[in-house]
Structure 1
Amino acid sequence: MRSSNPVFSRRGFSRDTGYAGFNAPPQAGGAANPYAGTNPYATQAPPQYTPQTRPMTMDDVVTRTAMTLGTVIAGATVGWIFLTGALGFAVFAGLVAMGLGFAQTFMRRPVPALILAYAAFEGIFLGALSGAINDLPKMGGAPMQAVLGTMAVFVAMLVAYKTRLVRVTARFTRFVIIAALGFVLLSLVNMLFMVFGGGDGLGFRSGGLGILFGVVGVVLGALFLALDFKQVEDGIAYGAPREESWLAAFGLTMTLVWIYLEMLRLVQILRD
């Protein structure tokens, strides 16, 4: 099954595309490899010795994810302390993070420096935004509630995935992608109405409709977590190169940022 996460969809974490020999007919001399034709990372044995990168492990994914999330937290600390009143620079940092994220998404190989730079700028944006919201009337402590909510969603989805209460199938993936595209499209339309029409746009960010929209955003983030877990599981099972753990960390970080932003918006609406 092809990944719905743009980070992975260009990397061959797939059961149906023939990438790197997966589902490809056996080549001459390939009989010695029992995984040829089923493993996207299985290749014909070279005629002479060639150094190979060891396969990705769960420890690799956990370590890289801790590094990227740690960088986000460090950037958020800087943004909270020094840039709470400079939202213009915070927005700039957010746009830079978006550009770096897109750049990594469309690269054929992970670039750790690029991923960590994305995490740093994303953290600065989140920290400054969270600090500004925390200083608003009746919003004290809202960012911490959003953090706790994000952690709860992560743990709940991890348990649901490991116990197979949530099963990632082709139909599940299509549903999540279609729902996410619709959500993003409605958000963009609402933003345009806010910019050109003033006020609250179509009302997707306030009142009862805003609460419903926020809940949908959090649920979509949780479903994307399930897709991320599936890609990590497949990458380890198929012997993905160790460098792919950076992409796994990148994908998980982007999803957690999505959930945090939606959770923060939801908490803000409920408190307002």
Structure 2
Amino acid sequence: MTKIDVAYRATAVLGEGATWDPVTSLLLWVDILGSEVHEFDPATGAASRLSTPQHVGAVKPRSGGGLVVNLAEGVGLYDADRHFSWLTQWHEPDVRGNDAAVDPWGHLWAGTMRYDEAPGGGRLRRVTPDGSHSVIVPDAAVSNGLGWSPDARTMYYIDSPTRRVDRFDVDPTNGSVRDRRPFVTLPDDTPGFPDGMTVDADGCVWVALWDGWAVHRYTPDGRLDRVVEMPVARATACAFGGPQQRDLYITTARAGLSEAQLADQPLAGSLLVVEDAGQGAPGWAFAG
């Protein structure tokens, strides 16, 4: 059984969005319903929190320093001194930001969902550095994990209730996508829903399973070749980090668990890590 350690013990309501920032050597993640950005330094164990003005679905580094955040009403920016400003807003009622990712061209792909998770109520947008945006997936339920193959020719995407990981072909000249189709569909006897994900240097796709007690790794041809069993039901996202990006960090959640379930899952809401799990691929910073 794979050894899982506690990187940072926490009680996040809805921990999400693990992201490695190679410039600062910090692991970034969020507590969505706690409206907090977390920064964790694996070298020292130091951790800090940044309160956001709204529920925050994801945080990513900016190429010029600072952070970009996917909020309930749009996308916001923090500068290096942590001063906040809006980049763009869409004001959709009863909707919040969920997972997001940055592509090799420096665009932010920002997902949304309705609080009641109604089918068709979510969107996936591509946001450019100047704040203009276009809807790429107009009818998601819970827009979730995103990732790109090492050659940037494939984008992976999760709309959780479908229980699938989909793939798109990517135009190498501008990052636009086309031809969405299934990459992996969870079998009926596999519990849980695909949530956040990351792609490693070998092109394998790692998927955190909400209510699945596991993280799965799939080869580029869609074959399940590794299962990391988790001590919590609600793994939400994963990312490689650390000095050589070989440690797999996994965010977890307490949301919706009963007191009895929480007693059985004392690490729910913590940031967990599998050391030397594989080789992470370089990430990208938002160009805005």
TM-score normalized by the length of structure 2: 0.24
Between structure 1 and structure 2, the one with the greater Rg is 1
Give the structure with the larger strand fraction.
Answer: 2
Give me the TM-score of the superposition, normalised by structure 1: 0.25
Quick check: which one's helix share is greater?
1
